[in-house]
Amino acid sequence: MKTKCAKCGYESEDNLGKFQTPLCNICFRFAPNEEKKFKEYILEKIDGKLLNTFRKFSEVGNLQKKGMLAKASQGLIMSRPPFGYKFENGNLVPAPNFQEVEEIFEEFLKKDVSLTKLAKKHGLSVNGLKKILKNFTYIGKVKFNNQIHEGKHKPIISSTLFNHVQNKLERLGIK
C-alpha cells in the first residue's frame, strides 16, 4: 500500500516513519529527532517540484555520494522561491511581481548601467541582483548538481534576453 510523505506529499510504497508520521527517504533524512522540532519540520512548506527533480536524479544514481545528497537536498528543502516566483501547492509559479524580473534584465542591458543603482531601485542587494541576472529559473530551467535541466515551471523571460544579459555579464567580468 502506498503512503504519502507528510512533508512533501511524495507517494511511495517504501515511505519511512518517524513519530508515527510517514516520510519519504529524503525528508526522513532531514527530520529532527526531537518531537517538537519534528512537528515544526513537518509544517514547514517545501518545494515539492524541486524535491521531485532531486529525487529523479538521485534515483538514476547521479547523487550517490552521501555528502552530496545531504547538501543538495538541504539546499532544495531550504530554498525560497527566486524573486518573481512563488510556491503554490508545491509548484513554482510566477508571483504578482514577475514582470519586474524582465524590467531588471532589460535595464541591465542599458548603456552605462550601475549595478548598485539598479539593485537599489528594485530593493535588492548587489549580490541579490547578480544572482537574479544569472538565474536559469527565469528561462524555465533548473540548475541541479551543476547541470542545467529543463524545469516544469513557466519561464518569465525570453532566452534571448537572458543570453544577452549573460553576454554582458561576461563582458564586464561580473561574477
Residue span binding Zn ion (CB under 5 A) among the ranges 4-12, 111-119, 127-135, 147-155: 4-12
Candidates 21-29, 67-75, 99-107, 164-172 — which segment interacts with Zn ion by CB under 5 A?
21-29
Identity of the residue, 7 or 141, whose beta carbon is nearer to Zn ion in the bound complex:
7
Angle at CA 72, nearest 5°, toward 70 and 78?
A: 95
Yes or no: say if 48 and 91 are a contact pair by the CB < 8 Å rule: yes
- Tell me the site size for Zn ion, rule CB under 5 A: 6
If one asks whether residue 119 binds Zn ion (CB under 5 A), the answer comes out as: no
Q: Does 6 bind Zn ion (CB under 5 A)?
A: no
Q: Which stretch binds Zn ion (CB under 5 A): 9-17, 66-74, 102-110, 128-136?
A: 9-17
The reply on whether position 10 binds Zn ion by CB under 5 A is: yes
Instruction: Give me the residues paired with residue 147 across strands.
Output: 144
Nearest to 148 by CA among 26, 48, 52, 57: 57
Is residue 24 a contact point for Zn ion (CB under 5 A)? Answer: yes
Tell which residue, 1, 3, 44, has the closest CA to residue 24.
3
Q: In the set 2, 3, 4, 5, which binds Zn ion (CB under 5 A)?
A: 5
Cell of 164: 544577452
Stretch that binds Zn ion, among 3-11, 58-66, 71-79, 120-128 (CB under 5 A): 3-11
Given candidates 1, 3, 4, 8, which one binds Zn ion under the rule CB under 5 A? 8
Dump the DSSP string for 57-103: HHHTTTT-SHHHHHHHHHHHHHPPPPTTEEEETTEEEE-TTTHHHHH
Strand partners, 23: 16
If one asks whether residue 46 binds Zn ion (CB under 5 A), the answer comes out as no
**77 closest CA partner among 113, 107, 47:** 47
User: What minimum distance in Å lies between the beta carbon of 84 and Zn ion?
Assistant: 26
Give me the residues that bind Zn ion (CB under 5 A), please.
5, 7-8, 10, 24, 27
